[in-house]
Amino acid sequence: MAQAAWEKPIAAGANSAADKAREALMSRAGRGAIRRKFLLAGGLILGVVAALIITGTLTGAQYFMTVDALLADPTLVGQSVRISGAVIGETIRVASINPDGEEITTITFTIAHIPDQFASLEQALHDAVYNPDATRLDVYYEGPRPDLLQNEAQAIMTGTLGEDGVFYASELLLKCPSRFQEGGSDPELGQTSAGGL
Amino acid sequence: MGIALADIGLAALFLAFAAAIYAVIVSILAAQKHSDAMTISARNAALASFPLMIVSVGALWIALLTEQYQINYVRSTTDPLTPTFYRVTALWGSQEGSLLFWSLIMAGFVAAALVINWKRERRLMPYVIAYSMATLAFFLGLSLIYENPFERVWLVNNPEQGTTEVVDTLLIPPDARPPDADRLQANARGLNPLLRHFGMIIHPPMLYLGFVGFTIPFAFAMAALASGDLSANWIKATRRWTLVAWLFLSLGLILGGRWAYDVLGWGGYWGWDPVENAAFLPWLIGTAFLHSVMIQEKRGMLKVWNMVLIIFTFSAVMFGTFATRSGLIESVHSFARSEIGLPMFVFWSGITLVSVVMLIWRWSQGRLREEHHNTRLLSRESMFVLNNVIFVLLALAIFWGSFGAPILSELLADTEITLGTAYFMQVTPPLFLAMYILMGVAPVTAWGATHVARLGRALLIPAIGVIALLAFLIITGTTQPAALIGYSAVSLAGFVAVYEIFRGTTARMRARNESALQAAIALFTRSRRRYGGYIVHLGITLIGIGVIGSTVFQEQRERTLDIGEVMPVAYGYEMRFDGYASGLFADDGRVMDIAEVTVIRAGRELGTLRPRIDRFPDGMNMTIAGARSTLENDFYVLLWPTGDTTGITFRVYVNPLVNLIWWGGLVLIAGTMISAWPNEAAAVRVRERAAIGAQMRATS
> What pLDDT digit, counting tens, does each position of B106-165 carry?
999 999 999 998 988 888 999 999 999 999 999 999 999 999 999 999 888 888 887 888
**Residue B60 has what pLDDT?**
96
Q: What is the sign, positive or negative, of the torsion defined by CA atoms of B297, B302, B307, B310?
A: negative
Average pLDDT, chain B: 87
Cα–Cα–Cα angle for B130, B134, B138, rounded to 5 degrees = 175
Q: pLDDT at residue A9 above 50?
A: no
Which member of B298, B418, B649 has the closest CB to residue A64? Answer: B418
Nearest-angstrom CA–CA distance, A138 and A87: 10
* Interface subset of B 284-313, CB within 8 angstroms of A: 297-300
Interface test with A, best of B170, B182, B302, B418 (most A CBs within 10 A): B418
**Residue B329 has what pLDDT?**
62
Q: pLDDT at residue A100 above 90?
A: no
Check: CB of residue A180 under 8 Å from CB of residue A101: no
Q: pLDDT at residue A128 above 70?
A: yes
Instruction: Tell if the CB–CB gap between A190 and B179 is shorter than 8 Å.
Output: yes
**Residue B338 has what pLDDT?**
62
The DSSP call for residue B151 is -
Cα–Cα–Cα angle for B316, B321, B327, rounded to 5 degrees = 125
**Residue A197 has what pLDDT?**
31
Instruction: Compute the nearest-CA separation of B689 from chain A (Å).
Output: 14
Q: pLDDT at residue A182 above 80?
A: no
**Residue B298 has what pLDDT?**
83
Q: 3-class secondary structure for B468-504?
A: HHHHHHHHCCCCCHHHHHHHHHHHHHHHHHHHHHHHH
Please report, rounded to a whole number, the percentage of residues in chain B having pLDDT higher than 70: 92
Q: What residue type is assigned to position B117 of the chain? A: N
Q: pLDDT at residue B260 above 60?
A: yes
Q: pLDDT at residue A195 above 80?
A: no
Instruction: Tell if the CB–CB gap between B401 and A56 is shorter than 8 Å.
Output: yes
Q: pLDDT at residue B698 above 70?
A: no
Which member of A49, A105, A187 has the closest CB to residue B649? Answer: A105
Q: What is the sign, positive or negative, of the torsion defined by CA atoms of B384, B390, B393, B399?
A: negative
Q: pLDDT at residue B178 above 90?
A: no
CA nearest neighbour of B109 among B49, B25, B39, B40: B49
Q: Is the predicted ipTM greater than 0.95, yes or no?
A: no
Q: pLDDT at residue A89 above 90?
A: no
B542 — pLDDT class (breaks 50, 70, 90): very high
**Residue B488 has what pLDDT?**
95
B86 — pLDDT class (breaks 50, 70, 90): confident
Residue with more model confidence, B45 or A131: B45
Minimum mean pLDDT range among A53-57, B84-88, B333-337: B333-337
What is the CB neighbour count within 10 angstroms for residue A33? Answer: 12
Return the axis-axis angle of helices B233-263 and B659-676, rounded to nearest 10°: 160
Which member of B168, B332, B427 has the closest CB to residue A184? Answer: B168
Nearest-angstrom CA–CA distance, B527 and A186: 61
Chain A residues with CB inside 8 Å of B559's CB?
A: 102-103
B353 — pLDDT class (breaks 50, 70, 90): very high
Segment B567-619, tens digit of pLDDT:
999 899 999 999 888 888 887 778 888 999 999 998 899 999 999 888 877 66
Q: pLDDT at residue B6 above 60?
A: yes
Residue with more model confidence, B76 or B414: B76
Instruction: Compute the nearest-CA separation of A12 from chain B (Å).
Output: 5
Q: pLDDT at residue A150 above 70?
A: yes
B265 — pLDDT class (breaks 50, 70, 90): low
**Residue B335 has what pLDDT?**
46
B404 — pLDDT class (breaks 50, 70, 90): confident
Residue with more model confidence, B178 or B28: B28
Element (H, E) at B143: helix B125-145
The DSSP call for residue A15 is T
**Residue A38 has what pLDDT?**
79
**Residue A31 has what pLDDT?**
67
Q: pLDDT at residue B687 above 80?
A: no
- Tell me if residue B561 falls in helix, strand or coil: strand
Check: CB of residue A189 under 8 Å from CB of residue B183: yes
CA nearest neighbour of B523 among B505, B498, B503, B506: B505
Q: pLDDT at residue B413 above 80?
A: no
**Residue B31 has what pLDDT?**
93
The conformational region for residue A173 under phi > 0 = left, psi -120 to 50 = alpha, else beta, is: beta
Segment A16-72, tens digit of pLDDT:
555 555 555 555 566 677 778 878 888 888 898 899 888 888 877 777 788 888 888
Minimum mean pLDDT range among B18-27, B329-338, B520-529: B329-338
Q: What residue type is assigned to position B454 of the chain? A: R
CA nearest neighbour of A85 among A36, A37, A31, A139: A139
Q: Which residues pair with A86 in a beta bridge?
A: A112, A154
Counting one residue from chain A and one from chain B, the pairs whose CB atoms sit within 8 A come to 209
Check: CB of residue B536 under 8 Å from CB of residue B671: yes
Nearest-angstrom CA–CA distance, B312 and B310: 5
Chain A residues with CB inside 8 Å of B338's CB?
A: 182
Instruction: Tell if the CB–CB gap between B165 and A190 is shorter than 8 Å.
Output: yes
Nearest-angstrom CA–CA distance, B23 and B13: 15
Nearest-angstrom CA–CA distance, B651 and B641: 10
Segment B657-666, tens digit of pLDDT:
999 999 999 9
Nearest-angstrom CA–CA distance, B63 and B150: 10
Instruction: Compute the nearest-CA separation of A77 from chain B (Å).
Output: 16
Q: pLDDT at residue A84 above 50?
A: yes
Nearest-angstrom CA–CA distance, B700 and B694: 10
Arithmetic mean of pLDDT, B482-504: 94
Minimum mean pLDDT range among A10-19, A139-148, B41-50, B313-322: A10-19
Q: Which residues pair with B595 in a beta bridge?
A: B580
Arithmetic mean of pLDDT, B488-492: 95
**Residue B637 has what pLDDT?**
92
What is the CB neighbour count within 10 angstroms for residue B433? Answer: 18
Chain A residues with CB inside 8 Å of B507's CB?
A: 3, 6-7
Chain A residues with CB inside 8 Å of B421's CB?
A: 60
First to last CA, chain A: 87
Which member of A52, A60, A191 has the closest CB to residue B422? Answer: A60
A124 — pLDDT class (breaks 50, 70, 90): confident
Q: Which residues pair with A129 in a beta bridge?
A: none
**Residue A132 has what pLDDT?**
86
Buried b (16+ CB within 10 A) or exposed e, B534-567: bbbbbbbbbbbbbbbbbbbbbeebbbbbeeeeeb
What is the CB neighbour count within 10 angstroms for residue B76? Answer: 27
Q: pLDDT at residue A126 above 70?
A: yes
B453 — pLDDT class (breaks 50, 70, 90): confident
Chain A residues with CB inside 8 Å of B457's CB?
A: 1-2
Segment B384-402, tens digit of pLDDT:
889 999 999 999 999 999 8
Check: CB of residue B304 under 8 Å from CB of residue B363: yes
CA nearest neighbour of B240 among B666, B543, B532: B532
Nearest-angstrom CA–CA distance, B569 and B588: 35
Check: CB of residue B614 under 8 Å from CB of residue B641: no
Instruction: Tell if the CB–CB gap between A52 and B430 is shorter than 8 Å.
Output: yes
B619 lies within 8 A of chain A by CB: yes
**Residue A8 has what pLDDT?**
38
Check: CB of residue B582 under 8 Å from CB of residue B593: yes
Q: pLDDT at residue B411 above 80?
A: no
Q: pLDDT at residue B51 above 60?
A: yes
A180 — pLDDT class (breaks 50, 70, 90): very low
**Residue A1 has what pLDDT?**
34
Q: State how far Cα B506 lies from the chain centre.
A: 37
Which member of A147, A156, A182 has the closest CB to residue B622? Answer: A147
Q: pLDDT at residue A178 above 80?
A: no
**Residue B38 has what pLDDT?**
95
